Structure 1
């Protein structure tokens, strides 16, 4: 669903592309152009690129993964220049890139649990992330289905031994009495936009839940925040990603549910050059979107990061397991 918008990615000389890793996937068709799928500098990006490239190869296309393209601005420039035709993205982060002031937080038009009692009756409807992103896309770029089963939002966590409510609507009245830590680094996702504690955490918690945070401490990494939480320096912590991505996983932690999406939806989706894919190929990507889940995605990312597993091998096994 392509869309025009005021933002236009500036094409740039991609010197770094010369040294990018180029991996060609097998297919049944020796002819036709090679569909190059780009990936930024992260294990998550490598994995998603391999999944998309592998899925497209199974439609008969010739595909290749171009890895190590750099940060978001670099691989979007590669997409704009035609060096690659598709990249894997996260919906909320991409919306932040194209429309930094968008008020959208919910993933789609389905109301989040408990949203009916949060906003004044006269408040104007707020667009969902999927719709806002569609409107913000620069001319020449399109997205297909968002993987609704992937939820990579920041996580609000507490010590598992602390007696705190399990969801933000029930915790809100106690926020002012708690010290909250906010992680701002890129440890769990090197491609994540930098966190602004006020804009991205404190203000949304107040707006969505009436959760006031007068006592906040900023930490440079998720690991530092976890240590402070375990030592009792803080009672709540806002991670930059799901707790399962932490080194050591969720041991000793409990995640506080955020049903009203104080933290903007962040789901996996493909971003591609308009007209570069056939309807059959787009349909295959939509099948991938319907099968991918948070748990499976995180498990594979952790295996790549901690066990040095091959992203291509994991992607192929995942596609096989889901008959894609």
Structure 2
């Protein structure tokens, strides 16, 4: 299934078909599902199978970056709260490893990012909205696998500004930058300019004063004022820490990257499906970003953070 690694992520998912998605300026996690296998697991032997329907064990896996581990823990505890027997296998590795384990039945549930998953399965697909991406996934996945409800939470590229800049110029959408872009310096990973400059001109009519490479320091560059607009991942905890404002993208330059449960259909029954869909209904981007601050900045245990969120949302 999130930094410049993640800025390369969503912008290069199609090219990184075996392991990528979000790619910008985050300190909270690594390339979603883009790393190599790390083989560390939480609960249970790595080789045992797990089928969770009709009273069996649901095996919840995760990639090897903090956000995905947190999401895996949320899924796991939500299932357990409904009486489902769960085995956790977190920090496994990249999408290519996880996908194969899900197909084999060694894993039952994975937190995925719908746009990144679609790029992995069909790199030429041009769907960008949540509805279109999910519809394309339904066709691209093998019969044994399926996605459940996508959450509103997205880990994706954004153009972000400081709260002060947003208030001063009444900026809420990327479209609102049109009147000021010529006075603004925009920052992002080294590849960001070549991948996105023409798109922003064509789609939004934006011509920035300067494009400045900032890589993993984009949020810091916004904070210190060396840039006015930055490519920051939407669940980067520095958005909360520095009070940044991700601008909405109504014309979808950045495609959907909704957190979505990917399941082995034989392993989930109606109870498990309902529990996971209930999580998706409550999980939004701002909430996930706040949780990631607790995990990546405050260094709290992901399982504790997950437990608190589930309790606060009536899912514990």
Shorter-chain TM-score above 0.5: yes
Distance across 2 between alignment mates of 1:60 and 1:248:
34
Query: Which one has the largest radius of gyration?
Result: 1
Residue 89 of structure 1 contacts residue 269 of structure 1 at CA under 8 Å; is this kept in 2?
A: yes
Equivalent in the alignment of 1:90: 113
1:311–1:101 CA distance, 2 compared to 1 (3 A): same
Q: Which residue among 231, 235, 250 is the counterpart of 2:242? A: 250
- CA displacement, residues 81-108 of structure 1 (integer Å, 9 cap, x when unaligned): 3221111011222222222232222223
Equivalent in the alignment of 1:5: none
Distance across 2 between alignment mates of 1:207 and 1:132:
26
Q: Which residue among 279, 282, 292 is the counterpart of 2:270? A: 279
Measure how far apart 1:247 and its partner are: 7.6
TM-score normalised by structure 1 residue count: 0.72
Residue 235 of structure 2 contacts residue 286 of structure 2 at CA under 8 Å; is this kept in 1?
A: no
1:175–1:131 CA distance, 2 compared to 1 (3 A): farther
1:15–1:182 CA distance, 2 compared to 1 (3 A): closer
Equivalent in the alignment of 1:35: 58
> Does the alignment pair 1:172 with 2:178?
yes
> Does the alignment pair 1:102 with 2:95?
no
Distance across 2 between alignment mates of 1:176 and 1:136:
42
Residue 72 of structure 2 contacts residue 110 of structure 2 at CA under 8 Å; is this kept in 1?
A: yes
Q: Unmatched 5+ residue regions in structure 1?
A: 1-7, 109-127, 185-194
> Does the alignment pair 1:313 with 2:308?
no
Residue 74 of structure 2 contacts residue 306 of structure 2 at CA under 8 Å; is this kept in 1?
A: yes
Measure how far apart 1:219 and its partner are: 2.7
Bigger helix fraction: 2
Q: Unmatched 5+ residue regions in structure 2?
A: 1-16, 19-35, 46-51
1:15–1:183 CA distance, 2 compared to 1 (3 A): closer
Aligned pairs, how many? 272
Distance across 2 between alignment mates of 1:42 and 1:102:
26
Where 2:93 maps in the other structure, the secondary structure is coil
Q: Which residue among 297, 300, 304 is the counterpart of 2:291? A: 300
RMSD of aligned alpha carbons = 3.1
Where 1:68 maps in the other structure, the secondary structure is strand
TM-score normalised by structure 2 residue count: 0.74
Where 1:21 maps in the other structure, the secondary structure is coil
Where 1:22 maps in the other structure, the secondary structure is coil
